[in-house]
Structure 1
Amino acid sequence: MRIGLLTEGGYPYAAGESRLWCDRLVRGLAQHEFDLYALSRSAREEDAGWVPLPPHVQRVRTAPLWSAPADLRDGARGPRPHGRRDRRRFTDRFEQLATALCRAEPAAGTTFADGLYGLAELARDRGGLASALRSEAAARVLQAACRAPGARRSAHGATVPDYLALAHELERVLRPLSLDWYDADGLGAVDLCHAASGGAAALPGLLAKRFFGVPLLVSEYGVQLRAHYLATGGTPLSPPVRALLAAFHGRLATEVYHRASVVTAGNTHARRWQERCGADRAKLRTVYPGLEAERFAAVGDGTDCGDPRTLVWVGRIEPAKDLVGLLHAFAAVRRAEPGTRLRIIAAPLRGPEASAYLGHCRALAAQLFPDEAATAHAVGDNPVSFEEIGGPEAPELPDAYAAGCVTVLSSVVEGFPVSLIEAMLCARATVSTDVGAVVEVIGGTGLVVPPRNPRALADACLALLRDPERRERLGAAARARALELFTTEQNVAAFRGLYLELLSLAPVRRASEAVDSDGHPVPFAHPAEAYVPGHWTAAPRPTPTWAVAAAAGPRPVSGSGLAVGSASAVGSASAAPIAAATAVTGGVEGGHV
């Protein structure tokens, strides 16, 4: 099978968000061919380069979303709609899309979809839409849509700078429409498109399905629409532009979920978001992300349960992790158990905001825990330490979890808590706040408290610090749960099954495929077994004795009225394929077909 893997800000870039699970997926499905179609978000991603790619990745095509398109750089003018008919065509389609964004209530019919696919067809015919989307005509269309009767209240307050800013943002997010990926040698040649996220990454998949009938699978571990809502709050865009962009992403998410053959969520929390955005429950599957369990095996299978008086926090330094609340909770723990320590072990800092927050946390720790000669520690030794993964105390991630007996998560906002799964694989008891998918991940193998409640967090930590047998029981149960649900093997197996399921529901579309007398593709002309590596038909099993005897003539089956063994049903010519198929599939009901 040939898979078109669609990513945005991820694989194959070394600094991408989705690179880890995409790389594990591609390497775990070596029997398939992969074509990568990647959208980059920043120059930093492209400067970091690519991760090493396995040999069954046949092609990589990339496009930036962060820089100006080629036809708008240095005053150049590239492909654009020409002539009165094309200008009218662009205006009509863009007006449909703008009206769908500006209306307070969805219009009757599929206005957004008609506008989106109409623009895509125009871009394919004329080579791109960047100039048209940033033109004065586009701004006028947006102005008319914002002032039309029935437009949302936030759109009425838009001004000329808002129309220009919105046109700029729409050009960037619609840039996949203008790419040269949509031909018989590009996405038209794949058997299945797999979008690693919603949003812009899924746009090429929508067009591949529109133009070539290629089935689309969409996977979301963090819902793209939710991420957009959280990200736009700190941007300099005006409220009308933010509201209209949110409307665009909402309409796009609905269209993606509607057109996708299957939508996978990384957890129930993300699945609820998808349902609210219009995803059909019949199309939804939950596929948990997979981690490499072997990496944590030495700690998880070992007998060392860590320092019984040390709490460990592992993660990224950012305000959403609420390290301030954790420090206040640890102050209460320290008063009840003076000998305890807290080790905050963080990933390398990202950006000035993280550095500023870390400085604030260090200052708070120095204020809450001044050096005291009367304590059991030496003068100048603070019970809270700030360390970095890769440092002398925690050179590897498993070493960070091995440092203590209890792992703490204090977040106020969390999607899928990967650090909790890592702690579970290390057989560590955990104390977590009830945010995101935490309860779904823990499943009764750890303690969960309300967020922003330092007192409850402290009480839970003290309960585990004072009960080593309970810590051991919870740690063992946590590791067993993580090995059952959150490994790379289960993740790859789930997608392997989904790929074959989707292929079985749609004919393979290739230039060399078999066609019938009317020129239509023959379903299952290339069955899934044909893509299993190796020559599985080269060495058939010996013809069974029952088949040799049956070749002599028909023999009725007792009580059935059917004949088995006739030349038209079973014989030496058909026994080999049956045996070969049994060898590949493992047989049915103990090896008998």
Structure 2
Amino acid sequence: MRIGLLTEGGYPFVSGDARLWCDRLVRGLGQHEFDIYALSRGRQQEDEGLVPLPPQVGRVRTAPLWTAEDDGVTHGRRARRRFTECYEELAGAVCAASDAGSGPPSADLADRFGSALYGLAELARDEGGLVGALRSDAAVRTLESACRAPGALRTAREARVPDLLAVAAHLERALRPLSLDWYDDAGLGAADLCHATAGGSAALPGLLARHFAGVPLLVTEYGVQLRSHYLALGPDAAAPAVRALLAAFHGRLAAEVYRRAEILTPGNGHARRWQERCGADRSRIRTVYPGMDAARFTEAGESPDRSDPDALVWVGRVEPTKDLVSLLHAFAEVRKEEPKARLRILGAPAGPEGEAYLGHCRALAAQLFPDEAEGVHAVGDNPVSFEEIGGPEAPTPADAYAAGAVVVLSSVVEGFPVGLIEAMFCGRATVSTDVGAVVEVIGGTGLVVPPRNPRALAEACVALLRDPERRARLGAAARARALELFTVEQNIAAFHGIYLEIVSHCPVRRVVLDEAGEPLPFATPAESHVPGRWTGPTARVLPRGIPGWATGAPVRATRVAAAEGVR
């Protein structure tokens, strides 16, 4: 089947989110054909280029979310009236106070928002784009009227002109996918299935392909976009009115995505609960854990005896959310019970903030563990070491995890704990804080303690350091669990089954008209599209169901990147 893969800020660009996961998915499902539709987040990302693509990628179309030149479209009187009506409906649905509080919007609000969104998309398709209209003074005045209308959010009524300008600019950026030309039979309309690799803007083209061409939509969320917007719009980031309006808009958009998607595949129970809270139907949710390459950790996992029995290991990016301060205080308690214990912190700082935090942690370690003149360790031999992966003692991540008897995760904020799964692949016993999806990942194969509790962290570490048999049992169970749930193979198999399930329940039906405008029976037989090279290398993309006819569909506001295998 032909899959329209929708990405934002990641694959197939060299840098970005979810790049590795998407690449493994596309390469693992070689029996399908992929067309990639990518929204970029910056010029630097575009300048870095694309990753090498496998032959099952038919084409790549990209469009920027970070900038949009004025499309030069001048709307006539009728088009301006259509825009005003649709934007009024959209703004009214965003500004309206919902009885459900922070939960999903009411059915009436959801219908109003969806109707306005698709009305704007139809106008963009008919007139050539909405960039100028969404930036116009009329859009700001319409938004102001919605904020002052009866029944509007109390915070929205307090919006001033700078707040309205900020909200209107944000809505223009968020709605840029409406102006793309991706939704005809030469684009997403030719797909059997749209797979959005995130919610929000990445899923918006899938909503439009479903609206215009009836293409079913699958949405995968390994990080909940709505939660990310809430966190980004903190008190220091924007005024209260701006935060309230943008939170309402993204909440309405998330609810529309969850309502229209055939299947949602969250990456963990935490993301699943967010989706259900926003109104997703529980029967259409399938949890699919991210797939990771277990082969890199096979040697470490099959030889757990080579580790230092007195060493605790922490592996990751050094930043404040990892709470290494609590870990250092916990290790001070561990040393009182186990004087031979050592702590190895392996990881590089994440940006300038990480550099400053690493310096603070080094100073704290020097204060807590001054060089000992007598005792177990020689002068200058501090029991805490700060290292980076790639050095002589830890050339690979597997070597880093294998360096200690117990792997520790001390975070106060964590989404899906990739480092914890890597430690499980290595067959290591773990002590973790109860944050994010940690409990869901670890199951019963490790010890879990409350975050920001150095005493509890220390007690758990001491318990495992003193019991090598228990460490061995937990490490073996952790490796078995990781190999069962978190490998690339299980991830690919899960999506292959979901693709077939969706297409079997939601066959794409297209009506082809003759010159007189009458439907042509049997114009789109099931065998009209077969993946593979069945035409010459210079042939153009053909509309499905009309063999032999080339299309001259114009390309507006997008760029087409030639990939190996374009027909």
- TM-score band w.r.t. shorter chain: 0.7 to 0.9
Structure 2 match to 1:247: 248
Q: How does 1:304-323 map to 2 (within 5 A)?
A: 304-323=305-324
Determine if the alignment matches structure 1 residue 495 to structure 2 residue 495. Answer: yes
Distance of aligned partners of 1:509 and 1:375 in 2 relative to their CA distance in 1, 3 Å threshold: farther
Q: Is the 8 A contact 1:254 1:277 kept in 2?
A: yes
User: SS at the partner of 1:398?
Assistant: helix
How many residues are treated as equivalent by the alignment? 522
User: SS at the partner of 2:345?
Assistant: strand
Determine if the alignment matches structure 1 residue 463 to structure 2 residue 463. Answer: yes
Structure 2 match to 1:412: 412
Deviation at 1:445, TM superposition (A): 0.4
Structure 2 match to 1:61: 61
Deviation at 1:216, TM superposition (A): 0.3
Over the matched positions of the two proteins, sequence identity in percent amounts to 70
Structure 2: distance between partners of 1:145 and 1:319? 41
Structure 2: distance between partners of 1:257 and 1:170? 20
Structure 2: 5+ residue stretches without partners: 99-104, 535-567
Structure 2 match to 1:573: none
Structure 2: distance between partners of 1:411 and 1:266? 19
Q: Is the 8 A contact 2:311 2:341 kept in 1?
A: yes
Deviation at 1:524, TM superposition (A): 7.5
Deviation at 1:16, TM superposition (A): 1.3
For residues 36-85 of structure 1, the C-alpha deviation after alignment (integer angstroms, 9 at most, x for no partner) is 1111223343343322211111111111212x3122xxxxxx33351111
For residues 450-502 of structure 1, the C-alpha deviation after alignment (integer angstroms, 9 at most, x for no partner) is 11111100100000011000000000010011111111101000000111111
Letter in 1 for 2:83: F
Q: Is the 8 A contact 2:87 2:139 kept in 1?
A: yes
For residues 214-259 of structure 1, the C-alpha deviation after alignment (integer angstroms, 9 at most, x for no partner) is 0100011111111111222276322211111111111011000110
Structure 2: distance between partners of 1:192 and 1:224? 21
Structure 2: distance between partners of 1:329 and 1:368? 11
Distance of aligned partners of 1:134 and 1:473 in 2 relative to their CA distance in 1, 3 Å threshold: same
User: SS at the partner of 1:146?
Assistant: helix
Structure 1 match to 2:358: 358
Q: TM-score, normalised by structure 2?
A: 0.88
User: SS at the partner of 2:238?
Assistant: coil
Letter in 2 for 1:116: L
Structure ID, larger Rg: 1
Q: Is the 8 A contact 2:510 2:524 kept in 1?
A: no
Determine if the alignment matches structure 1 residue 332 to structure 2 residue 341. Answer: no
Deviation at 1:355, TM superposition (A): 1.8
Distance of aligned partners of 1:333 and 1:524 in 2 relative to their CA distance in 1, 3 Å threshold: farther
Letter in 1 for 2:323: D
Structure 2: distance between partners of 1:153 and 1:212? 39
Structure 2 match to 1:26: 26
Which of the residues 58, 83, 91 maps onto 1:90?
83
Structure 2: distance between partners of 1:324 and 1:423? 21
Deviation at 1:512, TM superposition (A): 9.5
Structure 2: distance between partners of 1:114 and 1:63? 25
Structure 1 match to 2:442: 442
Letter in 1 for 2:297: F
Determine if the alignment matches structure 1 residue 99 to structure 2 residue 100. Answer: no
Structure 2 match to 1:291: 292
Q: Is the 8 A contact 2:214 2:508 kept in 1?
A: no
Q: Is the 8 A contact 1:428 1:471 kept in 2?
A: yes
Letter in 2 for 1:334: R
Structure 2: distance between partners of 1:38 and 1:206? 15
Deviation at 1:325, TM superposition (A): 1.1
Which one is further off, 497-506 or 206-215?
A: 497-506
Structure 1: distance between partners of 2:532 and 2:442? 37
Structure 2: distance between partners of 1:214 and 1:527? 16
For residues 184-213 of structure 1, the C-alpha deviation after alignment (integer angstroms, 9 at most, x for no partner) is 111111111000010100000000000000
Structure 2 match to 1:378: 378
Deviation at 1:379, TM superposition (A): 2.3
Deviation at 1:527, TM superposition (A): 10
Q: Is the 8 A contact 1:189 1:509 kept in 2?
A: no
Letter in 2 for 1:70: E
State the Cα RMSD in Å. 2.2
Deviation at 1:361, TM superposition (A): 1.7
Letter in 2 for 1:218: V
Letter in 1 for 2:10: G
Identify the structure with bigger relative contact order (alpha carbons < 8 Å, sequence gap 6+): 2
